[in-house]
Every structure is written in C-alpha cells, then in structure tokens.
Amino acid sequence: MLAKLKTFSLLGIDAVPVEVEVDVSPAGMPKTMLVGLPEAAVKESTHRVERAIVNSGFQRPQSRIVINLAPAELPKQAASFDLPISLGILAGSGQIASEWFDSYAAVGELALDGTTRPARGALSMAMAAARQSGLRGMLVPSDSAAEAAVVEGIEVIPVSSLAQAVGFFAGEIEIEPTPSRLDVLFRELSVYAEDYADVRGQEMAKRAMTISAAGGHNILMVGPPGSGKTMLAKRMPTILPDLTSGESIETTRIYSAVGRLKPGQPLLAVRPFRSPHHTISNAGLVGGGSTPSPGEISLAHNGVLFLDELPEFNRQTLEVLRQPLEDGTVTISRALSSTTFPANFMLIAALNPCPCGYRGDSQRSCHCTPPQIERYMSKISGPLLDRIDLHLEVPAVPFRELSGGQPGTSSEEMRRQVVAARGIQASRFDGGPTRHNADMTHRQTRQFCRLDEEGTNLLRSSMTELGLSARAHDKILRVARTIADLESSEAIHPMHLSEAINYRMLDRDFWT
C-alpha cells in the first residue's frame, strides 16, 4: 500500500517542499530502504522510526518498506523527516487512514519513545508552507510551535508525540493551532540590559556612534587598552531603531536554521550583536561547509558585527569581508549549487595603535619599534579601510571623568536623535531599496549630497592632503549628509563636511 505525506527540507536558510512516499508491500524478509539522496542523519532515521513506532503502541510492519524523498536530486539532511516517515509507514501498513494528509504537512524529529524533539528551521518551513497552495497547516513539535506560529496565514498544530500526531490525522483528537503572539513577543523580548549612560566620558566617541547608527555607517575605533572601545561597541544596538516585524522574521530564520535560538525565545526582538574571536576561519566568518551554512556575518544580519583586536585576525579572513560590506549579501558557491545568505550588518572594528597598545599615550611609554608597528598595521588593507566610513580615536578616560557623579549621555537620548535622522532618510528614499545614507548609490550621492563652493574647496584640499580614494570621497559625502540629517538641515554646510573629513584622519596617521 502506498502513502504520501508533505514535509519540508532546509536548503541553506530556505525551506523547500518535499514529498514523502512510503510503499509497504509483502516480502519474505522485512527490509527498509530509504532513497532520495538522504544524508547521514536521515539514513539513521529508519532505526529511530522503527523503535518510535513500537514504543508508541503500534506495530512495525514485517514487510518490505521503500521510502522515497522527492525530489530525488535534492540532498536531504537533518532529522525532521522522522515524523512524516513514521506516519507514512503507519498509513502504508493500514494502521491509520486520514483525509488530512494533503492538507497538513508534518515535520519533526522523534525520540525512541515516540516523543517529538525541536526541528531546526521551523520558521522557514512555516513560511514555505504559507506560500504553498492547498496546504492548510503544518504539524510541528510542541517545542517549535511558538517559533512557527510567528507566520500568519497557516495553522501550526503542536504535537508532543507520534501517538498524538496519529490521533490528529485519524480525527480522534482535536488540537488547537498555536496562536501568533507577534506583538506580545516584541513587548516581552525587546529589552536591552546595557545603556550608554554606563560609559563615563567619551562624549566625542558617543557622538561618532550616534552618527554611525543614524546613517548605518561602519566605524573603526583606535585607542589604548581599557579606553572603553568594547563598551561603546556593545551598546550600539541600544540606539538603533527597533526591529520591524519583517526584519525580525528575516533574522530569526537564520538563527533557527542553525539551531541558535535560545529556549523560550521563538523570535529575535532585539538587534543581534556578534563578536567572533580573532582565530575564526573564513568559513566561520562568511559561511561555508560542504552543505553551505550561514557564518557570523549572516548571524549579524540587521544588527552589529564587532571585530575586536582587528589586526589579530588573519588578513585573508578580513579580506573576505570586502564584497559582503558592499552588497549586503554573501554567496557561497559549490560545484553543484550556490547559496546566497543575507549579510546586511553594521561593522564596528576596534584596535590598539600598536602591539603594546600605548603609542601616543601621554601616561605610558610605547616600546614598539617602527617595523613592529608596520607589521601590526599591515594586516589591514587599504581597500578594507576604504569600506569603513568613520575612523575614531578613543583616548584613555581621565580619572576626574571616571570618578565624577554626572552620568554620561544615555542610550535613550542618542536613540531619539538616531530615529529622527532615520525618519528623514526614509522620506528621502521614499520606500526604495536604499534605506540608509551609507547605502546610497553614486547617483544618489550626487543627487542628495550637493556642496556649495566653500564645501567643494574644502573637500578638494582634504582629498589632496590625505590622498583619499574615490570611494573615500563618497563616504565623506554620505557621512556629511548624515551629520546634516542629525541637525535637520536640508543642505550640507562646511561644518558638517569638516566633521566628516575629521573621521578620515586615521588614513594619514596610520596607513599612509
């Protein structure tokens, strides 16, 4: 007897429909065959499925069982095929009959006692189910139901065991769909523990962070150890606008696909902050593997990627950032296929001015030789530096500011300025693909960043003195546009341009 069920398989972070066909026919010796390019985790499912069926009170057919996962040319991985395969075996052997197999898909891993375990990528699968015509709902493990229910327009049926799934398909029990709690989740989870008020002093650095957040600009901080670079970077998400529901779902499905969602947190309601160690590999940073999976830059999508001690990273690893910083996506190509992951993030980098960290410090002496400093800085290439809009010096904080009772500028104050500037940008770009000043094309830069004669002369002389590239020229104009937006100014005035040029001074001080 033949049974057919619908399920989904992950391909990168996207889910694709898969049909599970199970044929149970009489044979002299029981045998189970699984075809359709199953990976190791799927091949092993036959043993889990057999024991889950028996331990749930059903009979394992003493027959020849052929399981086909279609389309056959698509590699299948993960253990989420356990539940549909088990239901197919029971239907093919005549132990259950249902008219709902065409209307409801099923995903989920089974334990040996028949209980369900969470499924990776439940959110992406629910999104794919909502797009598939004729599909009314989807059965998912109870632990993954809240995540899948974020998607509206599809019934998400939570099941805690194989027996419960059988009861639902047989019509013996009714299970209420998990409600979508999108608004409630945002209210409960969109809370930050950090605040810029904790950072004493460094008001100039906070100004630069506000500009960076307002225009979506990448920023690099240079300063001695203990000057507050990491504290400043970690608080950047607190001044960025709230995630929209679309951004939240887009980011959550990346975390769901790689199994990084925390228990009890079915949705990311705060902007991600990723800070990989400097020993990370190329594949760990941008993604990779024989079956491509997202890297740190994709996990930082719609959030912040912080690279501390930038010269300690392998130079080749840093160079692979160049294309994602420009495009906002990263494509991993293999012989048989290629996968594109989103990677629209803000880059914050931090480094010491020299190996010992005290070059230019008035309190401590630097013992590094010029060749040591040159080797230290040579790991950061000019093309990568060109892609960073703001270069900021973060000096050591004097004692009087550390011990003073006056709190620093808070995240709420900074965020108010950022949101106002982002609102101006939203009106300027009017729903187009460009969202922030940092993303402006060359044509938009010429259109929205016009200078008067004094500003043109100032930029010309600065370009000559600093030896800036054409990319740096456009970066200065975009930063100046953001500074003008923070002051609600239609025109870019020379003082806006002058401040933007000051944020490129490290081009001359350290790399030329």
106-144 burial, b at 16+ Cβ within 10 Å, e below that, comes to bbbbbeeebbbbbbbbbbbbbbbbeeeeebebbbbbbbb
The pLDDT, as a whole number, for residue 405 is 66
pLDDT tens-digit series, residues 138-184: 999 999 999 999 998 899 999 999 999 999 999 999 999 999 888 88
The pLDDT, as a whole number, for residue 507 is 65
pLDDT < 50: residue spans in the chain: 511-512
The pLDDT, as a whole number, for residue 511 is 46
AA letter at 289: G
- Global confidence as pTM: 0.91
Nearest Cα neighbor of 128 from 249, 274, 40, 223 is 249
Q: 394 near 232, Cβ under 8 Å?
A: yes
The pLDDT, as a whole number, for residue 431 is 76
DSSP letter string, 95-126: S---S-TTTEEE--EE-TTSBEE--TTHHHHH
What distance in Å separates the CA atoms of residue 379 and residue 382, rounded to the nearest whole number? Answer: 10
Element (H, E) at 2: strand 2-11
What distance in Å separates the CA atoms of residue 15 and residue 23, rounded to the nearest whole number? Answer: 25
Nearest Cα neighbor of 280 from 293, 297, 292, 260 is 297
